[in-house]
Amino acid sequence: MARTWLRDARGQKAPPWRVAVLLVLLAAAGFALAARLTSRVPVALVPVLPVEVDEPLVAFEVFARDLPEVTDLQFVDWPEREGQPGRRRVLLVAQKAGQIDWIEVESRQRGVLLREQVRTESEMGLLGLALSPRFPADRRLFVDLVAVAGEELRQTQVRVYTVPASVEALRAGALAAPGPIVFHIDQPYSNHNGGQIAFGPDRMLYVGLGDGGAGGDPHGYGQNSGELLGKMLRLDVLDPPPGRSYGIPADNPFIVAPGYRPEIWALGLRNPWRFSFDGAGQLWVGDVGQSEVEEIDVVGRGDNLGWNVREGHRCYNADDCASDGLRPPRYVALHPDSVCLTGGFVYEGRAIAALRGRYVFCDYLLPWLRALTPESTAGDVMREDGLPGKATTIGRHDGLCSTMGRDPDGELWLGDFRGRVLRIVPVRPDGADGSSGAAADSNP
């Protein structure tokens, strides 16, 4: 792995910075990889590593600071006053330690929407949120978090809250009102909790669950159809049957399959930390790798993504493995070219024409922003080296990219573990800001 990375495609020796980067990465790997999203990691000590930008398309502006450990960004056009037509664009910023802040995008006025007691060690915390697609008529906010539950020390929960009806109420200090737990599952370890929840275009709630943690999926949850860990679930939380907190959608793939939990939409995932739907309704998942391969998957109904038989395109812990019935990744990157992949979005905005229709993603430890080529976004493409998927590096930032966001105009944002939200903007015509590495501050 290291040897190939230290040679370029023609077998030439890599430049000295690349050698230095590898050494830093290997040194950092001990804490940063083992404890990704760990509160105890002093993020100020994580270096900004050099990366090469081969297609400079984007720059980064700091939109907000002092938001420790951003885990999710969700935009919503919120009624200015209850029952009246005017709307204000609001960004909800989930933070790992258990807080969600609101920021009114135009004025940057901000405040707290909710605070919750969560477990924060390792990869636990408040990890994701999804507002009802019927908002503002339905003001339910669904939140994914890991908490203590009775004698259970680690439990992933999807809780429902009711958010205030207007921006006016937010400004007055109104908080989200807590409601019931709609879904929960005990976690055997502190890592690989998944954490994202999102409504699909079908208005079903998709819940990403990791393999439960430790390393290598020691209990084989990913391939165990009788368990929910290591799966993408699809639940009907908007209109559940009477007496139930969620329903099983009638077209879930395994409703009548013996030995399968009916909640399962797809299986064989290691840690689907971030996922999104594109305008065509396709589900894109960034699945964080174990020790060699980071991957991006396009996930269809009933797919088996392979973990832990396979890590990306490779057999895991075996020279040979069955691949029948396993959906191969759309894109992989080998360590240390990527070490903790953070899934993003297909860009469907207008500001950056060259990005339209391309899947954009980042990495927690490497300061690149990449985009799949149009061909790789559209279908399965092999690189010259035999790996699936082609991408270019379109910009360099100075953050620890823990999550991305998409606003209602289709423009993309980045949330990081240096406490910031960055706006992704077109590179200036001189091209200087696409590779500067520093995020410009857009505050007046």
Binding site for Ca ion (CB under 5 A): 305-307
Per the structure block, which two tokens stand in for 338? 């990527």
Considering the complex, what minimum distance in angstroms separates the CB of residue 102 from Ca ion? 36
Residue by residue, DSSP assigns 196-256 as -EEE-TTSPEEEE----SSSS-TT-TTT-TT-STTEEEEEB-SSPPTT-S-B--TT-TTTT
Considering the complex, what minimum distance in angstroms separates the CB of residue 185 from Ca ion? 21
Phi then psi for 21, rounded to 5 degrees?
-60, -45
Residue placing its CB nearer to Ca ion in the complex, 100 or 305: 305
Residue placing its CB nearer to Ca ion in the complex, 78 or 307: 307
Considering the complex, what minimum distance in angstroms separates the CB of residue 306 from Ca ion? 4
Spatial neighbors of 19 by CB under 8 A, at least 6 apart, are: 6
Residue placing its CB nearer to Ca ion in the complex, 104 or 303: 303
Residue placing its CB nearer to Ca ion in the complex, 271 or 403: 271
Considering the complex, what minimum distance in angstroms separates the CB of residue 366 from Ca ion? 20
Cα–Cα nearest to 422, from 105, 65, 61, 102 = 61
Q: What is the rounded CA–CA span in Å between residue 292 and residue 269?
A: 15
Per the structure block, which two tokens stand in for 330? 């759309």
Contact 273, 195 (CB under 8 A): yes
Residue placing its CB nearer to Ca ion in the complex, 53 or 288: 288
146 by Cβ neighbours in 10 Å (0-12 / 13-18 / 19+) ranks as buried
Considering the complex, what minimum distance in angstroms separates the CB of residue 307 from Ca ion? 5
**Which is it for the CA torsion 20, 391, 292, 230, positive or negative?**
positive
Residue placing its CB nearer to Ca ion in the complex, 306 or 336: 306
Residue placing its CB nearer to Ca ion in the complex, 166 or 196: 196
Residue placing its CB nearer to Ca ion in the complex, 115 or 219: 219
Spatial neighbors of 179 by CB under 8 A, at least 6 apart, are: 140, 159, 160, 161, 162
Contact 369, 437 (CB under 8 A): no
Spatial neighbors of 331 by CB under 8 A, at least 6 apart, are: 295, 296, 359, 372, 376, 388, 389, 390, 391
Residue placing its CB nearer to Ca ion in the complex, 327 or 418: 327
Considering the complex, what minimum distance in angstroms separates the CB of residue 312 from Ca ion? 6
Considering the complex, what minimum distance in angstroms separates the CB of residue 409 from Ca ion? 32
Considering the complex, what minimum distance in angstroms separates the CB of residue 299 from Ca ion? 10
Q: What is the rounded CA–CA span in Å between residue 86 and residue 437?
A: 38
Residue placing its CB nearer to Ca ion in the complex, 33 or 400: 33
Per the structure block, which two tokens stand in for 89? 């664009």
Considering the complex, what minimum distance in angstroms separates the CB of residue 193 from Ca ion? 18
Considering the complex, what minimum distance in angstroms separates the CB of residue 287 from Ca ion? 6
Spatial neighbors of 161 by CB under 8 A, at least 6 apart, are: 114, 140, 141, 143, 176, 177, 178, 179
Q: Alpha carbon 225 to chain centroid distance?
A: 24
Q: What is the rounded CA–CA span in Å between residue 216 and residue 302?
A: 23
Residue placing its CB nearer to Ca ion in the complex, 307 or 413: 307
Residue with tokens 């930032």: 397
Phi then psi for 253, rounded to 5 degrees?
-70, -25
